[in-house]
């Protein structure tokens, strides 16, 4: 995770489908997590047919969708975003998150060797045709997972990090619970169609946006998901990104696609332009091209209508000072530990923001540069949007005996 904790936490590109006249995205709104629950007793996945595929007046046919700004978690578009839906290969996003977290904490390395089991080698669907006993680095395996959606590589990585695929599924569900995802449950590590008597992996557009919000904080994930094509097995096998938007939508650098008949075409896409990143989730499209078009439309309209406005740059002093007790100086003005920004509509003349500081009355010397002093909270239209640490700008040494005595008076 990003160490800065966020509270909660060419014209339009060939979309092929135009917005209805006068239609705009919803205004910024901090949306609470889904409240519905997925029950383990559900016998079958919801089918991607019937009324779920009636054309949406904005972006075409799909079952459920949402668009989110990940820094603040603001949802700017919602179409039944809490409806549970079969993930197909989007289930791999949770495996990607587990791997990214373990790389960050040092328990995994990209150079680690991952060996293919006999079971992994038998995985169907999209694959890189691993053979039992064949070994690749974790880096190579993850490129196969993220770029090519390879089920055999996914299963091998799951066994590597969890000891077994079943244990990895448990880890995936534990992580989903830790993120507060109410409509997400995994039964597999890869998202392949369930066999008779088995249950489908399910999530919702909102839950998948939350997972994506986590994923975009990890450079390794975006490095893999932005790849167009790359080689595997010494260049003898080409990995081509299943996410067409990395080739057709300027700024797109991820994230993942999924498909099988009952799930329809699913995509979680993300792009960054002019300092603003957006996430679009579109689930249950009956046709692949419409799936990508819908996600492109959501992101295009988001970039057209919204912006990140700079409030303060990292390292600039805040507007308030804090008294220093027993130091060589009497007070310090903390500085921002990260850039402070506001997410709002471009034409929002009436929108305003304020900054509230949570600071101690005094701080005792000695003080180290970068030491956390308090919090600066950005409030937009009365709602908290960002909370960023403010820190000491420089070292403050302990004062002389006289200075300390004066400080105690």
Q: Distance of alpha carbon 221 from its chain centroid, rounded?
A: 10
Q: Where does CATH 2.60.410.10 sit in the chain?
A: 313-408
pLDDT digits (tens, 9 = 90+) for 288-335: 999 999 999 999 999 999 999 889 999 999 999 999 998 999 999 999
Residue 70 scores a pLDDT above 70: yes
Q: How confident is the model at residue 346 (pLDDT cuts 50, 70, 90)?
A: confident
pLDDT at 147: 98
Q: Are 88 and 263 in contact (CB under 8 A)?
A: yes
Q: How confident is the model at residue 10 (pLDDT cuts 50, 70, 90)?
A: very low
Comparing 60 with 154, which gets the higher pLDDT?
154
The partner residues of 61 in beta bridges, in order of sequence, read: 55
CA distance 288 to 266: 8
Contacts (Cβ under 8 Å, ≥6 apart) of 231: 237, 238, 239
Comparing 17 with 261, which gets the higher pLDDT?
261
Comparing 43 with 131, which gets the higher pLDDT?
131
pLDDT at 259: 97
pLDDT at 91: 98
Q: Where does CATH 3.40.710.10 sit in the chain?
A: 50-306
DSSP 34: P
pLDDT at 51: 35
What pTM did the predictor assign? Answer: 0.80
Contacts (Cβ under 8 Å, ≥6 apart) of 57: 20, 23
Question: Taking the domain 50-306, which CATH number applies?
Answer: 3.40.710.10
CA distance 119 to 380: 52
pLDDT at 203: 98
Residue 80 scores a pLDDT above 80: yes
CA distance 257 to 244: 9
pLDDT at 347: 79
Q: State the chain's mean pLDDT as an integer.
A: 85
Among the listed ranges 19-23, 81-85, 208-212, 402-406, which one has the minimum average pLDDT value? 19-23
Q: How confident is the model at residue 336 (pLDDT cuts 50, 70, 90)?
A: very high
pLDDT at 400: 73
SS3 383: strand
Q: Are 66 and 206 in contact (CB under 8 A)?
A: yes
Question: Taking the domain 313-408, which CATH number applies?
Answer: 2.60.410.10
Q: How confident is the model at residue 353 (pLDDT cuts 50, 70, 90)?
A: confident
Of residues 85, 43, 88, the one with CA closest to residue 196: 43
Residue 4 scores a pLDDT above 80: no
């Amino acid at each position: 995770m990003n160490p800065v904790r966020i509270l909660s936490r060419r014209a339009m590109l060939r979309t092929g489908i135009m917005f209805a006249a006068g239609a705009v995205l919803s205004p910024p709104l901090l949306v609470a997590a889904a409240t519905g629950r997925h029950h383990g007793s559900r016998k079958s996945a919801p089918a991607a047919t019937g009324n779920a595929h009636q054309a949406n007046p904005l972006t075409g046919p799909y079952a459920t969708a949402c668009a989110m700004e990940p820094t603040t978690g603001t949802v700017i578009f919602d179409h039944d975003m809490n409806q549970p839906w079969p993930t197909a290969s989007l289930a791999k996003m949770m495996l990607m998150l587990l791997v990214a977290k373990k790389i960050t904490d040092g328990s995994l390395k990209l150079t680690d060797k991952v060996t293919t089991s006999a079971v992994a080698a038998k995985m169907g669907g999209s694959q890189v045709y691993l053979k039992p006993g064949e070994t690749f680095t974790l880096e190579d395996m993850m490129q196969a997972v993220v770029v090519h959606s390879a089920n055999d590589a996914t299963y091998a990585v799951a066994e590597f990090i969890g000891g077994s695929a079943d244990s990895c599924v448990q880890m995936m569900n534990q992580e989903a619970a830790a993120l507060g995802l109410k409509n997400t449950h995994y039964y597999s590590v890869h998202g392949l169609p369930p066999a008779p008597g088995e249950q489908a992996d399910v999530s919702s557009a909102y839950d998948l946006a939350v997972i994506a919000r986590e994923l975009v904080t990890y450079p390794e994930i975006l490095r893999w998901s932005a790849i167009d094509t790359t080689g595997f097995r010494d260049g003898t096998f080409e990995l081509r990104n299943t996410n067409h938007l990395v080739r057709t939508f300027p700024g797109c650098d991820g994230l993942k696609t999924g498909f099988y008949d009952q799930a329809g075409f699913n995509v979680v896409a993300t792009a960054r332009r002019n300092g603003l990143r957006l996430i679009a989730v579109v689930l249950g499209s009956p046709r692949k091209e419409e799936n990508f078009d819908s996600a492109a439309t959501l992101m295009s309209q988001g970039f057209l209508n919204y912006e990140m406005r700079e409030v303060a740059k990292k390292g600039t002093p805040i507007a308030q000072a804090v008294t220093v007790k027993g130091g060589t100086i009497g007070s310090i003005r903390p500085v921002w530990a990260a850039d402070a920004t506001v997410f709002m509509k471009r034409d929002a003349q009436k929108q305003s923001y304020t900054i509230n500081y949570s600071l101690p009355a005094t701080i005792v010397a000695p003080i180290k540069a970068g030491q956390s002093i308090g919090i600066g909270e950005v409030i937009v239209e009365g709602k908290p949007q960002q909370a960023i640490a403010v820190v000491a700008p420089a070292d403050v040494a302990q004062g002389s005996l006289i200075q300390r005595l004066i400080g105690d008076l």
